[in-house]
Structure 1
Amino acid sequence: MLASGRHRRGRPQRHLADMSDAEAAEAMASFGLPQFRARQLASHYYGHLDVDVSGFTDLPADRREEIGRLFLPPLITEVTHQTADEGMTIKTLWRLFDGSLIESVLMRYPTRATLCISSQVGCGMGCPFCATGGLGLTRNLSTAEILEQVRVAARMMRDGQVAGGPGRLSNVVFMGEGEPMANYRSVVTAVRRISAPETKGFGISARNITVSTVGVVPGIRRLSAEGLPIRLAVSLHAPDDALRDELVPMNRRFDTAQVLDAAHDYFLATKRRVSIEYALMRGINDQERHARELARRLNHYGDDWVHVNPIPLNPIEGSRWTASKPEDEDRFLEVLHAAGITATLRDTRGSDIDGACGQLAARAVEGAGQTMDGDVPTVS
């Protein structure tokens, strides 16, 4: 049942995108409207990417404003945006109902358009080289707050608001702020809506959706059983426990063996190759010995189950974590290729703006004098 027009304390107002089809129909009936109005509203939202009820002529004119207030409350408001790569990359800072800030990044390539979205406000994983980790965790996003990032980006592509003219949003990656597995229910519900046919969802192929994790093993195993052909990306960043304990604190809870075992089982369950994300940091994890150990660990499983993405680090201002030398990046790739590992150096976007996740939000938080408390969430 839909609550009143006011949001519950600490939570955004429930939105159409938070509801199943049956819940939306029931909510519509509870306000004295035919249940089929829910399908009409969903067609506008998902199919036409529209939230301006004043133009929804298939809805009764005397109820449109009320329907908009009850089912389509504004959830994200643009604070600012930055552009890079000759207008092909747009990074947006959003303000939520409670004043929290999140980011999303829309990146257009010759053959695709990819949106990187946030699943939490901040992050509780505490990785020291990550700008978002420095923010700490504020809260999880609702399903609708996640989906609104997708709707706005899809509309921008459709309406030609990204350099290159009108196009279509084709890929979504959960690689923005937050640990998706720590907001499991909202993320999986959002994935199902993103990939549902238009009028019920955004019609983006599930095979073009990627969910990343620093290695929350229960979440990986749970996702394996969902029957979703999405890609799993594991942010490994180190080939052994001693180094990964420093770079990814979650490793002290789920070590590299547990993470890689779960990731390989995901491959077996879905037949989708797993992406291993590996941020290259100068003199820390980018030497030939690290590449050899990484290859050994991955080849232990004996099948072509991973694609490694070494990522040149987008450094945080004032941080000791620095991007690798180009020659070290090249040698790292050479070692992986020689070991039979498929690997591609990630094309970094936004290097001339606050490109790393959390940088834009961190600047805004500092400017506003806000503080955020961190925590390590559990899978929910």
Structure 2
Amino acid sequence: MSAPITQDVLTIPRKLPEGPINLVGLTRAQLRETLINAGTPEKQAKMRVGQIWQWIYQWGVRDFAEMTNLSKAYRAELAETFVIEVPEVVSKQVSADGTRKYLVRIAGGHEVEVVYIPEENRGTLCISSQVGCTLTCSFCHTGTQKLVRNLTAGEIIGQVMVARDDLGEWPERGAPKDETRLLSNIVLMGMGEPLYNFEGVRDAMQIAMDAEGIQLSRRRITLSTSGVVPEIAKTAEEIGCLLAVSFHATTDEVRDKLVPINKKWNIAELLDALRAYPRLSNSERITFEYVMLKDVNDSDADARRLVKLIQGIPAKINLIPFNEWPGAPYERSDWDRIQSFADIIHKAGYASPIRTPRGEDIMAACGQLKSATERARKSRKQIEAETRAG
């Protein structure tokens, strides 16, 4: 058995929560064990898990009293021992383009941001996996916030539930199935590196994919990693979702500066792991995320090098115009430079969409996520000083 992947941070053990147990985020196996430990007869446990699971994840019910296919006595027992809780919405901002950004509070008073992006015939929710981030990618505003801790599976799936609350998307019990979904896709591209919180992310996404709950296909979920190489094969085997990789450079020299994790697992090691991923997970292709930074990684030579590097990998390349933030050390590439880069990739046979920045007016765009309350406590000069020091 391989050793677990760790982060270069001090981990302080947290006390187990006191009081009622929150059922949100428990896997089916964990829920069964928890119910049995609380007195549910073992012979009934499987059925009870199925019933409670549907109430929580299919109908969005938070009150045991509403679970009408359970006896009143059993509902009362559940209410004495358990709760059904999701993160608290502290604030919601709505962009001119319809993007919604939620600041949500979790256990310990910590806050993370969640972004909903409406598009034609679909809606994508960008969720976070950690409070802060340990990767310190130099172009990313989120990376200037220090890592506090991993989110639990309940706090991760809870973000999805909060968004469904706000969108009014829980179906009524007994209503005809509606295939039209406001929240149709999940991307793990918010705060944190998902593969440094593998178990929490895995359990949350298995809940999201469960056929008797939220019912999202694995092809509707995309996990974005900066390149935690040893966890990539596990992601294919235990989650099986689509994979995106924050690539952003075509030489180790440049990627070491932009994405420091490259010093641990370089481009060659990362590409070796990615070549096996579509086969292991039965996924169609890998998305390469590439932020366009003026005079840093946006030359025609970079585009040609990128095409050569990914040769043999079923892939598309998402070109992301850099979203600037106070004190950012980079500038967005000029539009004609981005277009020239995209043309080279397209002519080589790869899809190369240029991402339209969304939610910039509320700092909800890619790489901009950071607690609004923390930003409010700091002046522009403080943020710029931190960026230079980093």
Q: TM-score range by the shorter chain?
A: 0.7 to 0.9
* Residue 363 (structure 1) shift: 3.3
For the residue of structure 2 that corresponds to 1:98, the secondary structure is: helix
CA contact (8 A) 1:177 1:357 kept: no
AA at the equivalent of 1:132: T
Question: Residue in 2 aligned with 1:248?
Answer: 259
Distance 2:359 2:108 in 1: 28
Question: Residue in 2 aligned with 1:281?
Answer: 293
CA contact (8 A) 2:117 2:125 kept: yes
For the residue of structure 2 that corresponds to 1:352, the secondary structure is: helix
Question: Residue in 1 aligned with 2:24?
Answer: 17
* Residue 28 (structure 1) shift: 2.1
AA at the equivalent of 2:251: D
Distance 2:341 2:74 in 1: 61
| 2:82 aligned with 1:56 | no
Residue of 279, 299, 321 corresponding to 1:312: 321
Question: Residue in 1 aligned with 2:36?
Answer: 29
Identical aligned residues as a percent:
35
Question: Would the alpha carbon gap of residues 312 and 11 (structure 1) be closer, same or farther in structure 2, given more than 3 Å must change?
Answer: farther
Question: Would the alpha carbon gap of residues 288 and 214 (structure 1) be closer, same or farther in structure 2, given more than 3 Å must change?
Answer: same
TM-score by length of 2: 0.83
Question: Would the alpha carbon gap of residues 271 and 353 (structure 1) be closer, same or farther in structure 2, given more than 3 Å must change?
Answer: closer
Question: Residue in 1 aligned with 2:221?
Answer: 209
Distance 1:289 1:116 in 2: 32
Question: Residue in 2 aligned with 1:137?
Answer: 147
* Residue 33 (structure 1) shift: 3.8
* Residue 278 (structure 1) shift: 0.5
Distance 2:259 2:236 in 1: 23
Gaps of 5+ in 2: 1-13, 171-179, 379-390
Question: Residue in 2 aligned with 1:150?
Answer: 160
Question: Would the alpha carbon gap of residues 236 and 358 (structure 1) be closer, same or farther in structure 2, given more than 3 Å must change?
Answer: closer
Question: Residue in 2 aligned with 1:184?
Answer: 198
Which digits, 9 at most, give the CA deviation of each residue in 1:187-210, with x for residues without a partner? 111121111102xx3101111110
Question: Residue in 1 aligned with 2:302?
Answer: 290
Distance 1:212 1:65 in 2: 42
Distance 2:265 2:68 in 1: 53
How does 1:208-357 map onto structure 2 within 5 Å? 208-226=220-238, 228-269=239-280, 270-299=282-311, 301=312, 305-356=314-365
Question: Would the alpha carbon gap of residues 59 and 208 (structure 1) be closer, same or farther in structure 2, given more than 3 Å must change?
Answer: same
CA contact (8 A) 1:102 1:121 kept: yes
Distance 1:70 1:279 in 2: 48
Distance 1:50 1:322 in 2: 46
* Residue 184 (structure 1) shift: 0.6
| 2:121 aligned with 1:114 | no
TM-score by length of 1: 0.85
Question: Would the alpha carbon gap of residues 170 and 75 (structure 1) be closer, same or farther in structure 2, given more than 3 Å must change?
Answer: closer
CA contact (8 A) 1:45 1:51 kept: yes
Question: Would the alpha carbon gap of residues 281 and 159 (structure 1) be closer, same or farther in structure 2, given more than 3 Å must change?
Answer: same
CA contact (8 A) 2:191 2:369 kept: no
* Residue 333 (structure 1) shift: 0.3
CA contact (8 A) 1:44 1:50 kept: yes
Distance 2:227 2:15 in 1: 31
CA contact (8 A) 1:314 1:355 kept: no
How does 1:348-367 map onto structure 2 within 5 Å? 348-356=357-365, 359=368, 361-367=370-376
* Residue 119 (structure 1) shift: 0.7
Distance 1:59 1:359 in 2: 45
Question: Would the alpha carbon gap of residues 345 and 68 (structure 1) be closer, same or farther in structure 2, given more than 3 Å must change?
Answer: farther
Distance 1:11 1:276 in 2: 39
Distance 2:116 2:196 in 1: 23
* Residue 70 (structure 1) shift: 3.8
Distance 2:310 2:218 in 1: 25
